[in-house]
Every structure is written in structure tokens, then in C-alpha cells.
Amino acid sequence: MNERVAIRVGNAVAEAAPDLWGLFIEDLNDALDGGLNAERVRNGDFEFAATDRDGFHPLTGWAAEGAVQVLTDLPIHPNNRHYASLTGPAAITNEGWDGMRTVSGERLRLSLFARAHGTPVELAAAIGDGLATARRTVEPGGWRRLVIDLDATATGRGELSLAVPAGAALDIDAVSLRPLGDDGEPLTFRPDLLQALEDLAPSFIRFPGGCLAHGYGLANLYRWKDTVGPRHERVHDRNIWNYHQSRQIGYGEYFELCEAVGATAIPIVAAGVCCQNSPGGQRAVPDSDMDAYIQDVLDLVEYANGGIDTPWGAKRAEHGHPEPYGLRHLGVGNEDVINDDFRDRYARIENALREAHPDITVIGTTGPATSGPDYEAGWAYARERAIAVVDEHGYQSPRWLHQNLDRYGAYDPEGSKVYLGEYAGASSRIRSALAEAAYMIGLERTPGVVRLASYAPLLARVGHSQWTPDLIYFTADEVRLTASYHVQQAFGAERGEQVHAVVLEGARPFSRPVPREGAVRFRSARAAIALTEITVDGNPVPDAVITPGGDDLLLAAIDPEAAEIAFTAVRRDGADGFSLGLGPEDPQTSFRLDFAVWQNKNTAVIRRDDGIDNWESGCVWPGLADGVPVAVRVRLDGPRLQVWVDGERHHDLVRDDRPEQRVVAGALSRSGAGGGVEYVVRLVNAEDTEKPVRIDLPGTPGAVEAELSVLAGAGPDDGALFEASPVRPFRTTAKGENGIDLVLPPWSFTAAVLREASATPR
């Protein structure tokens, strides 16, 4: 019989962090163009280029029939140089992203710039095979903007076709097709995705990055001024995630989005340095350009908050929003190396902000992980400068999350506060969503330290992904909400004003068994690797070759608690490096050593539990070169793992065997509608058995009723990338005296709102 779990909600211990739960929108996974952006034309400005991605060109996304060429003389704007020139009979067609989806009865607005040569030109526009059609005459002369409203007469997918007859000559640029809203105006955002974001009830939205903010080299820094004003005048750029940025969702639309969902804005600007993973590494804005760069940052605050009597406040009004946006936070930097250049550039930016806008809370940065040199240096710098809030990132496995629920309880509450700007539980499975819920309860318990948090990445178009897992998947036809989404929604929708102490009795921590047998396995995705001078526990092993993309090379059996492996590796050809697996098969605990697997630039230790990876340790390394031998030695000694490369120790770590807190509870309170008190109690049961639970409230409230939202009914490993959650939350109620009795289903998350039976629901 399952033991009963007792949860006693104690007195309030702290004010809840009011802005804790928010969103982070970055343009990766086609999150903006092809996603949240309601635009249905791909590359409508003909500005795609090979610098965006190999194979891209100005007609990417278009098919041409007849005499069609791309020209750059006399463009509509210097920032939009390329345009299509058609000599009839000719046509260009655009399928958008995986086909343009239209719905019968839908109204669409086609807009474009056209320039006819010599005589009037009749332009024929059509979507698909008769889904919507229209014709317009373009008079000769300069560039003219055409606006054509189309009525979809059928439902389906098709292509936008623009055609001219024989004898006609027409230039075309800035082609746009957007659905019309109820007010008859073109929509900025795709409605179903916008609704999914609004339903999360975010307190804030972070934008534009992430890595996108500081770019792939200094020329690729995200310059906010390039993203406002008329869309056809904006500066296009390469996307660091290996595609193109149209900037149609720029800073103006970002602030508009914040208003639409009731969130405050948290823009992130580069700290005067580019991404550390750029060619040549992290480089700084030249000193001669820093004053102008700092002024750009100050102008962003003025654009958001300045009166219409200020230069950039007037620009905001010119762009259609005379009222200030009320900016309160500004992030400076993202996962940067804290070197001398960074320290200088960051300090100059922050000093200027403190002087000009002391009411703005500046958010600093640490590295991309929850530990390591960048993390330590980032926090040391934050303490040195007394930075108000520091941005931490951490993508961790469910095992790690369950082991570290009290992580922020060890932080100094008098020091810099934490914005957990990027986090996720490493998969789209139920077990990851529940681990995230447990960890979020831990974040909620420490409002004196953790002030803000946002899951990442937020959006991903199926078939166009660069990073997984993601919170929301979508296609042209549907939005797929993950189990992690339902967890985030429960936290955002039901918030509290006071954090309460919670005593939980009867829940036993989970301890993982230590594996006693395993094997040594090699693999490589892209390189042929010759292995020589191989020994396992002092015994010689025949030479072997790792083939790129082949099956694992099984070398020998080992005891994962006591083993020593040595070998020399030589890359014969191919790219990047190889991996060495140590231990048993899934779902038991094992380790993987990556040698130059990511961009041929480091070694890493990856721990694997329940078939889910967790980054444990990294070391910068020049990588492999064809024909150059590399000597590797690995020692397993109980929980300790050591790795040497060419005699230099790269890794020395101890396996974390701490028990996992799999049954977790947290509680907050808030004022009820009728003046009473409501309690928001969150409960995670990440175990295989149901748990009878008694929740007691403080004092003697008498008769209690509760409304519950329960995510349950699936196994821990149900749920997959790019798919909707296998289960959705269901609602139920409960009643009791001075509390309630519940049964928590296995592998479930419950959000309960409790109040006195006589109280009015909020």
C-alpha cells in the first residue's frame, strides 16, 4: 500500500516575485519568419543571400517562369536593393513555408511595390488553383505600392503567383501577403500562435536573444534601429542560426507583442562584444565605435520611454505609438566570456545607463551553463560591480533538476538577483515536464534570489528546427502544445502574492542504482578515426577504425566503477571528432566523452540517465587535425572520472549520486475576490505509483474547497519532439475540512487553488 504523504502549509515567509514567469522569443527554428510573423510570403524582398546559408540567393523561395532576373539598380530603398524584373510572358510563384495555407472565407491583403516600364502592365495575382485571384493595372513610371484584398474561396494549400502578359515589363519588390483582422487591417502576428503565448499569461517577454543579440561576428550584432520603421526600409541580415532575418518582427512589433499579451519588455543588447563562438572568437566593438554604440543603447531606452518631445520618442510616435512603452529592464550581454574587453565594454554601457536612466534595471550575464569558468567569472564580475540582476542559463536533464531543487537556497539573498533566462529539461517527455515543474517550485520558493525565469526555446516550426526541445511546435495548419507548455501555463495562470513554508512528510527521495557492468563504445557522425595503442585495464586490444555514421564500435566490457582505457586516435578524413561511451545501455546511468564533436573545438563529458543527456564538464581544445595523433587516457575510480588528452588533464569530476526529490510541493497565497485568502498549492509526483496526499492549511479555516488542474495519464517517457503532449490538463474539484485529501496519479503535476468554502472565487 502506498504511504500517505502529508503536506502542511505553514506561514508566509516572503513576498512572491511578481514578474517571475515570462517568455523568451528568439528567431531560431523559424520562430518569427515562418512562425509568429503572420507574413505568408517567404523572401518577399528578394534579399536572401549565400551569406545567410549555402545555396541561398535572391530568388530562394520563388520559382520563376519566363524572363525573370534579379536587379539592384534603382531599388525602392538602399536597404532593400534586390528586386525581381519580369519581361512577359513571365511569372514568379512563392510557396511560403511548406505551402500557403488558406481557409475559405478568409480575407487576405496582398501588397507589393511595382514599377512598369513603357506602357501600363496588367498584373495577375493568384493563390493556388483558384483559391483566390485578382488583377491590377500598374501605370508606367516610378515605384508604386499596390494593395490588393483577396477573398479565399476555398480551403487548401497553394502558391502565390504573380504574372505579367507578353510584351509587358514590370519590376516587383516588397511582396507581402497577410490575413486581415476583424478591423480590416493586416495582422502582424499569426493568431493561433499569439493566443498560445497569451494563454501563458507571461509577466515579461525577452527579445531578440540569446545568441541572435550578439551575432555571428561584429558585423552581425543585432542593431535595433535597423528593425523599426517601414518594413521595406529595414536592414536584412544573416541569422546566426543559419538562415535569414527579414526583421519584419522588429523592435516596434516586439513592444506591440508585449502590449498584446499584457507583458513588460526585457530587451537584450550585445555587451559590445560578439558571440564567443564566432569565427575568431569573441571580439569587441572597436574603441572608436563604442560611443556611438552606447548611444544606440541609450536611444533604445528613449524609443521605449521617451516623451514625444525627444528624438526617439518622436520616432516612436511617428511609428504609430505616441504613448511610452514603460520599459523597466534591459539586458546587456549573453553568455559572454568575461575577459578584459568584455569588462571594459560592459562597464561603459552599464555606467551610461545608470547615469542616464537610473530607473532601468540592468541585467548582466554569465556563461551558457550552470557551472564552469564562464559561470564563475560572470558571478565574480557581478559581485564586483554590484550588478542588480544576472542572467543564468541551464539546459539540464530531469535527473539534475530533481537533484537541485534547492540550488538557489544557497545563493546570497543580499547579492545580485537571478534571471534564469534559458532553461529546459532536455526532452519533450513527460518526465522532463514534471522535472521542470519541480524545479519551478524551487524557483518560486526563493524570491529573494530568483526574480525572473523563461523557458527556452519558445517556438519551433516542424521541419525547420535548429534546437530541441521547444515549448511550442507548429505547422502551417496547427499548433502543438507540449507537456512542458501545460506546466508553464499552470504556473503563469495561477500565481500568488506570498510564498509559504511547506512541510512535506512521507515522500522518500529516489536514489539511482550504481551500474556494475558496461562497455566501451566509439562512434563518429562525420569522421573516419583510426584507433591504435589501445589498452583496457592494461590489456591490449586490436587496432580499430571508427566509420562515419556507422554503428557503434564496441571495444570491450568494463566495470564502470573501476576501469582504465588508453588509446591513440588519428582522424583520417571527415569533419569534427568522435565520442567514447562508458557504461551500460539505456536507461541506466552512463557517460559519454565527446572529443571535438561540436565545431571541433572542445572536449566534454556527458552524463546520460533515463536515455536523456546532461552536459557535465567542458574543456576548450584546439580539436583534431587530419593525420595528427592524439593520445587519450580515461580512468574510472568509483564515482570519479578523469580524462587526459596528450598528457593534459581535461576533466576531473565526481558523479553526482545525491538522491532526487521526486515528490515535491510548494505553496503561495493571495487575496481572494471577497477579501479572504486563497492558497495556490503545486504538487509533483514523478514516481511510478500514485500518492495519497493530505494538504493542511494554516490555522483552522474550516470547510475548504479546491479547484484542481491535473496533468496526468501518460508514462514518464511518453511525449516526443515535434509532437503535442500525449495528455492535456483536466479540471476537477475537491472539498475537505481545514484542508483536502487527494490522490496524486503517477507521473503527474497538480495545481490546486484552495479557499474557504464560503469564499468567492478569484
DSSP 550: -
pLDDT tens digits for 396-455? Answer: 999 999 999 999 999 999 999 999 999 999 999 999 999 999 999 999 999 999 999 999
d(CA 238, CA 49): 8
Give the pLDDT of residue 674.
Answer: 77
**Residues 649, 674 within the same domain:** no
Give the residue carrying C-alpha cell 544573416.
Answer: 238
C-alpha span between 744 and 710 (Å, rounded): 9
Supply the angle between the helices 340-356 and 373-385 in degrees, to the nearest 10. 40
Q: Can you give the CATH number for the domain in which 525 is found?
A: 2.60.120
Is the Cβ–Cβ distance between 583 and 607 less than 8 Å?
no
Look up cell 526529490; give the residue. 661
Question: Residue 471: what residue type?
Answer: L
Distance CA 491, CA 483 (A): 13
How long, in residues, is the chain?
Answer: 762
Q: Are both 625 and 680 inside the same structural domain?
A: no
The CA distances from residue 376 to 517, 627, 668, 754, in Å, are 36, 36, 32, 42
Does the annotation mark 159 as catalytic? Answer: no
Is 210 among the domain residues? no
Q: What confidence score (pLDDT) does residue 758 get?
A: 76
Compute the distance between CA of residue 40 and CA of residue 42 in angstroms, rounded to an integer: 6
- Tens-digit pLDDT profile for residues 48-60: 999 999 999 999 9
Is there a domain that residue 533 lies in?
A: yes
Q: What is the pLDDT of residue 760?
A: 62
| 3 state DSSP class of 666 | strand
The DSSP H or E segment spanning 433 is: helix 430-445
Residues 164 and 47 reside in one and the same domain? yes
How large is the angle between the packed helices 483-493 and 430-445, nearest 10 degrees?
A: 30
Taking alpha carbons only, the member of 661, 669, 680, 665 closest to residue 744 is 665
Domain end: 179, 208, 224, which one? 179
- Each residue's pLDDT tens digit, 627-672: 999 999 999 999 999 999 999 999 999 999 999 999 999 999 999 8
Given this model, what pLDDT does residue 138 score? 98
* Positions of the chain with pLDDT lower than 70, given as ranges: 1, 759-760, 762
Report the C-alpha gap between 264 and 203 in whole angstroms.
6
Let me know whether 639 and 727 are in one domain: no
Options 253, 335, 436, 660, the catalytic residue: 335
Residue 25 lies in a domain: no
Same domain, 697 and 634: no
SS3 of 304-332: the string is HHCCCCCHHHHHHHHCCCCCCCCCCEEEE
Residue 151, domain extent: 40-179
Is this model's pTM higher than 0.95 or not? yes
Q: Of 131, 146, 179, which residue sits at a domain end?
A: 179
Q: What is the DSSP letter of 35?
A: I
Classify residue 636: in a domain, yes or no.
yes
Residue 362 is placed in which grid cell? 540592468
- Looking at the fold, whether 636 and 728 belong to one and the same domain comes out as no
Q: How many domains, in total, are found in the chain?
A: 3
